[in-house]
Structure 1
Amino acid sequence: MTGYRTIPTKDTFDVDERLGGLITVKQLAMLILTFALTYVTYAFFSELMGGSSDAIIPAATVFFGCMLFTFANLDRWAYLRIKYYLLSDQGRLARRPELLRNIRMVEDDKIFTLDGRVLALLKVTPINFSLLSDEAKESRIAAFEMYLRQLVYPISHLVQSESVDLEPYASVLTLKSREAEKQGIPGIAAWSDEHLRFLREFLRTNHARTKSHYVVLQVQDPRYRLKRGDLREGSSAKMGRYLRAFMTEFQPAGLLAGGALMQKPDNYVMVDLAANRLIFKNAGRMPHVAPPRSHRLGQVLEFESRVAMLRWARQMEKDYYYGPVNIEEEIKVEFANMSLHDREKEFSVEERRRHVQLSMGKTRWAYDELEKHITVLAEKLEATGLRVRRLRGEELLTGRHMAMAQAHQVKVNPHFLTVDNTYYKVVYATGYPYQVNVGWLGNIVDSREDYDVTMYVYPVSIPEAISTFRGAILKLSTEKKARSDFLDPETEQHLEDVRNFFTQVVSGKERYFLTSLYITCKAGSRKSLETVLEKCKSDLAGASIEHETADYDMSRALYTTRLTGSDLLAKKREFPSSSLAATFPHISASMEIDPEGLFFAMDWAGTPIIMDITRLPNQHIAITGESGSGKSYFAKSLIPRYLAGGYRVFVTDPDGEYVELARKFGGEVSSVGPKYGTVINPFDYEGRDVNDKIRSLLGFFSIVAGSLTKYQEGIISDTLTELFEQAGRHHKPVVMSDFAARLRSALERARDDEIRHDLQFLLISIRPFLKGNLYGFIDRPTTVKLNSRLHVFDLREYQNDKTLRDLFNYLIFDFITHTLRNDRDRKALFMDEGWTMVNYPSSEDYVRYIIKDSRKYNASFVFLTQELEDMLQSPAGRSILNNTSTQFIFHQKESAMALMKSTVNLTHEEYERLLSCGKGEGLMISDRFRLLFRVRTSEAEHALISTDPNEAERKEKQEPRTSIAREKSRPTVEVREIPIAPSPIPESKTLNSELVLPELVKLRKESDARRMETEMRAQEKLEDGKRAAAAKEPELRLELPSDKPPQAILREDAPPARAPMKSQPLALTHGLVSPKEALALLQSAAEKEKSKGAKAGKKKGKK
Structure 2
Amino acid sequence: MLKALARPASTRAPGGGLGDLLGPDALLVGGRSIQLPGAVCSSFAITGYPREVGAGWLEPLLTYPGHLDVSLHIEPVPPLVAAQRLRRQLARLESSSRSDARAGRLADFAAEAAADDAVELSAALARGHGRLFKVGLYLTVHAPNPGALEAEVQQVRALAASLLLDSHPTSFRALQGWVTGLPLGIDPIRLRRTFDTSALAAGFPFASPDLNAPAGQQPVLYGVNIASSGVVLWDRFAQDNYNSVTIARSGAGKSYFTKLELLRLLYQQVQVAVVDPEDEYRRLAEAVGGTRLALGAAEVCFNPFDLPTGQGDNALVRRALFCQTLVTTMIGEPLTPEARAILDRAIMAAYASKGITADPDTWDRPAPLLKDLVAQLEAADGSDGHDLAERLTPFTTGSYRNLFAGPTTTRAEGHLVVFSLRDLPEEVKPVGVLLALDAIWRCVANPHDRRKRLVVVDEAWLLMKQFEGARFLYRLAKSARKHWTGLAVVTQDAEDLLSTDLGKAVVSNSATQVLLRQSAQAIKAVAAAFDLSDGEKAFLLAAEKGEGLLCGGRAGDRAAFFAEASSFEHELVTTNPAELAALAHEGDPL
TM above 0.5: yes
* Alignment match, 1:632: 255
Equivalent positions of 1:41-60 (< 5 A) are none
Tell me the matched-pair count.
Answer: 566
1:967-986 equivalence runs, <5 A? none
Distance across 1 between alignment mates of 2:362 and 2:216: 49
Q: Are 1:729 and 2:359 counterparts?
A: yes
Instruction: Assess, with a 3 A threshold, how the Cα gap between structure 1 residues 500 and 635 changes in structure 2: closer, same or farther.
Output: closer
- Paired with 1:713 and 1:557, the residues of 2 have a C-alpha distance of 88
Q: Does 1:806 align with 2:449?
A: no
Match of 2:422 in 1: 796
- Give the corresponding residue for 2:71: 454
The answer (yes or no) to whether the contact 1:603–1:932 under 8 Å persists in 2 is: yes
How much does 1:678 deviate? Answer: 3.3
The residue correspondences of 1:320-719 to structure 2 (distance < 5 A) are 405-483=22-100, 484-485=102-103, 486-489=105-108, 490-591=110-211, 596-605=218-227, 607-673=230-296, 675-681=298-304, 684-689=307-312, 690=314, 693=318, 703-704=329-330
Whether the 8 Å CA contact 2:516–2:546 is kept in 1: the answer is yes
Separation of aligned partners in 1, 2:483 and 2:442:
14
Question: Counterpart amino acid of 1:447?
Answer: Y
Q: Measured at CA, do residues 571 and 787 of structure 1 come closer, stay the same or move farther in structure 2, by a change above 3 Å?
A: same
Query: Which position in structure 1 is the counterpart of 2:392?
Result: 767
Q: 1:1039 maps to which residue? A: none
8 Å CA contact 1:698–1:843 kept in 2: the answer is no
TM-score, with normalisation over the residues of structure 2? 0.80
Amino acid at match of 2:419: F
1:536-585, Cα deviation, whole Å (9 max, x unpaired): 21111011012222222233333332223233332221122222223345
Alignment counterpart, residue 453 of structure 2, candidates 827, 835, 839: 827
Across the aligned residues of Structure 1 and Structure 2, the Cα RMSD in angstroms comes to: 4.4
How far 1:432 moved relative to its partner? 0.9
**Amino acid paired to 1:487:** L
> Is the Cα contact below 8 Å between 1:684 and 1:782 reproduced in 2?
no
Amino acid at match of 1:603: N
Q: Distance in 1 between matches of 2:192 and 2:10?
A: 27
Counterpart amino acid of 2:163? A
Please say if residues 656 and 794 of structure 1, whose CA atoms lie closer than 8 Å, have aligned partners that are also in contact.
yes
Contact kept, 8 Å, 1:871 with 1:878, in 2: the verdict is yes
Partner of 2:563: 935
Q: 1:924 aligns with which of 550, 553, 567?
A: 550
Question: What TM-score does the superposition give when structure 1 sets the normalisation length?
Answer: 0.45
Distance 1:97 1:432 in 2: 44
Cα 1:913–1:493, aligned 2, differ >3 Å: closer, same or farther?
closer
- For residues 707 and 652 of structure 1, the distance between their equivalents in structure 2, rounded to whole angstroms, comes to 25
Q: Which has the higher helix share?
A: 1
Structure 1 residues 650 and 550, CA gap change in structure 2 (3 angstroms): same
Query: Using CA pairs below 8 Å that are at least 6 residues apart, which structure has the higher relative contact order?
Result: 2
Q: Distance in 1 between matches of 2:420 and 2:406?
A: 19
Whole-angstrom CA distance in 1 between matches of 2:390 and 2:524: 38
Secondary structure (helix, strand or coil) at the match of 2:22 reads: coil
Flag the 1:456–1:941 CA change in 2: closer, same or farther, 3 A: same
Residue matched to 1:877: 503
1:715–1:930 Cα change, 3 Å: farther
Deviates most, 691-700 or 483-492: 691-700
Relative distance call for 1:850 and 1:96 in structure 2 (3 A) is farther
Cα offsets for 1:109-147 (capped at 9, x unmatched): xxxxxxxxxxxxxxxxxxxxxxxxxxxxxxxxxxxxxxx
| CA distance in structure 1 between the partners assigned to 2:135 and 2:342 by the alignment | 72
CA distance in structure 2 between the partners assigned to 1:553 and 1:582 by the alignment: 30
2:6–2:25 Cα contact (<8 Å) kept: no
Change over 3 Å in CA distance of 1:696–1:931 after alignment to 2: farther
Q: For 1:983-994, what aligned pairs fall within 5 Å after superposition?
A: 994=589
CA shift for structure 1 position 495: 2.1
Instruction: Tell me how far 1:791 sits from its aligned partner.
Output: 3.3
Could you tell me how far 1:706 is from its partner in structure 2?
5.6
Compute the displacement of 1:790 (Å): 3.3
After TM superposition, the structure 1 = structure 2 runs for residues 124-143 of structure 1, keeping only pairs within 5 Å, are none
Q: Could you give the per-residue CA deviations for residues 580-626 of structure 1, whole angstroms, max 9, x where no partner exists? A: 22334522334488783222233324643332222122333333323
SS at 2:392 equivalent: helix
Q: 1:740 to 1:96 in 2, by over 3 A?
A: farther
Q: Matched residues in 1 for 2:342 and 2:175: separation?
A: 82
1:842 to partner: Cα distance: 6.7
Superimposed CA distance per residue, residues 865-894 of structure 1 (whole angstroms, 9 cap, x where no aligned partner): 233333223322332233332233233333
Contact 2:245 2:510 in 1 (8 A): yes
Query: What's the secondary structure of 1:425's corresponding residue?
Result: strand
Deviation at 1:670, TM superposition (A): 2.4
Q: Which amino acid aligns with 1:471?
A: R
Describe the superposition over 1:267-290 as per-residue Cα deviations: whole angstroms up to 9, x where unpaired. xxxxxxxxxxxxxxxxxxxxxxxx
Going from structure 1 to structure 2, the CA distance change for 1:679 and 1:898 (only over 3 Å counts) comes to: same
Of the structure 1 ranges 919-928 and 534-543, higher mean CA displacement relative to structure 2 is found in 919-928
Determine the C-alpha separation between the residues in 2 that align with 1:529 and 1:651. Answer: 51
Unaligned regions of 5+ residues in structure 2, if any? none
Alignment deviations for residues 665-721 of structure 1 (CA, whole Å, 9 cap, x no partner)? 333332223732431526635422549947867875775566769989997999799
Q: Distance between the aligned counterparts of 1:404 and 1:423, measured in 2?
A: 18
Residue pair 2:295, 2:424 contacting (<8 A) in 1 also: no
8 Å CA contact retained: 2:28, 2:36: yes
- Counterpart of 1:580 in structure 2: which amino acid? L
Of residues 486, 489, 493, the one that matches 1:863 is 489
| Deviation of 1:923 (Å) | 2.5
CA distance in 1, matches of 2:436, 2:74: 58
Q: What is the CA-CA distance between 1:627 and the residue it aligns to?
A: 2.7
**Matching residue's letter, 2:106:** L
Q: How does 1:78-93 map to 2 (within 5 A)?
A: none
Runs of at least 5 residues in structure 1 that lack an aligned partner in the other structure? 1-80, 102-396, 749-755, 963-993, 997-1103
Q: Please report how far the alpha carbon of residue 654 of structure 1 lies from its aligned counterpart in structure 2 after TM superposition.
A: 2.5
SS for the counterpart of 1:563 is coil
Q: Report Cα offsets for 1:289-321 as digits up to 9, x if no partner.
A: xxxxxxxxxxxxxxxxxxxxxxxxxxxxxxxxx
8 Å contact from structure 2 (residues 377, 386) kept in 1: no
